[in-house]
Amino acid sequence: GLVIVANAGVLGIEVDVGRYHETVQDRGAFFMVEVLFAVVFTLELVLRLRRRKFNFFQDPWNVMDFHLVVIGVFDIVVSLLFDSPGAKSVTVLRIIRLLRLVRNVRLLRMFQELWVIMKAFADCFVSLMWVMAILGLILFVVGLLIATTVGQDTDYWQEWNDSVKYVGDIPRTMFSLFQVVTFDKWVTNIAGPITTAVEGGSVWSFPFVFFVVVTGYGLLNVIVGVIVEHTLQVASATHNAADAFVEMLEHRIIASLVDDFLEIDASPGGLSVHGFQKAIISPAIAAKLQVLGVETDDLIELFRVIDHDRSGTVTPYEIMEGLKRVKGNAHGKDMALLTGIVNRTAARIERLGERVEALTGRAGLLLDRMDSMLGATTQEIAYREVLKEQRKEEYNRAQR
């Protein structure tokens, strides 16, 4: 991309600085830089051809690149063969050199936003042509009306010196009305003189206001709306295409993951939980799962998600479908499965709550029994203390 931009910049500098340099000797450094760019683009083309073979020409962009490189080489060859100032070949060489600017169109593939804008303009071209046709029809009808009234009125000829210049015939009147549409000095040059130059010209005030509203604010905003609509459509289509490409790559990675799992454990019954955990920690599988964005922190939960039939083992087909469910959009059966899991979990939580309530009630009964036993024990201890004191007093009296 930078080489393409540099080539265009050098071409612009050559046209501006070396505009009188026609021969190879006059062009000097510019010709050497042009040869350098041609070598770089030719090497790039050769490498791409060796890599993609005949598939290279299946892409229209590549076909355009091929012809532009050939044109650049042809430009250099012709410059060396017909190196004479003032020859007709000079004009041909200039055209060929200007065609190299088309190479900058390749930048559209490198900058997505620029491609979206250019694609939107290309798609809305037909709609814009229809809007222009409507605008041209309105300009013709209104121009015909003004040219046959104001343009042929002798009073306007006398009071408005520029009447012939602006409304002398239908083409001039249409161009003047287009100036009104673009709001370029339309009041001082056109609308003002028509409405104030002669007595009774104020009757044109409302038609001019209506014309400006319909064309200047109406049709021009329609053009903006058409461009914006197509831009949004192209952006959406580009986003969907990118998502589809990413999804295709993910499916390829998932298919390769199945092969990796089979290399680790090719038993016909499938992988158990321990075999699945052992496979996950291998570097190749862990790296691919990281690329897919699959969390491997909770391997047991991941195994449960993949084990769709709850058999305790996962087959290669279950691994592929499970990873697709993890990465893809939720389908009806997935939502039904999730709903079942949530309902079962809610039922388990409810049963656990009932058990907790029952245990809480039993704990309350145990606490009451312990309180009563504690009270009885306290009374028994107090009774035995009193009995002990009585026996001690009786013993003392017996000693006396």
Q: What is the pLDDT at residue 86?
A: 44
The residues pairing with 314 across neighbouring beta strands, listed in sequence order, are 271
Q: Return the SS3 of 57.
A: helix
Q: Return the SS3 of 177.
A: helix
Q: What is the pLDDT at residue 87?
A: 43
**Residues 6 or more apart from 250 whose CB is under 8 A from it?**
292, 327
Tell me the per-residue pLDDT of 39-70, one tens digit each, with 9 for 90 and over. 888 888 888 888 887 788 887 777 877 887 88
Tokens of 325: 């469910």
- Which range has the worst mean pLDDT, 82-91, 184-193, 316-325? 82-91
pLDDT exceeds 50 at position 344: yes
Residue 186 corresponds to which amino acid? W
Tell me the per-residue pLDDT of 127-151, one tens digit each, with 9 for 90 and over. 889 989 999 999 999 999 988 888 8
Q: What does the alpha-carbon distance between residue 190 and residue 365 come to, in Å, rounded to a whole number?
A: 102
Q: What does the alpha-carbon distance between residue 12 and residue 6 come to, in Å, rounded to a whole number?
A: 10
Q: Return the SS3 of 182.
A: coil
Quick check: pTM over 0.75?
A: no
Q: Are 107 and 115 in contact (CB under 8 A)?
A: no
- Which range has the worst mean pLDDT, 97-106, 139-148, 247-256, 372-381? 97-106
Q: What is the pLDDT at residue 331?
A: 55
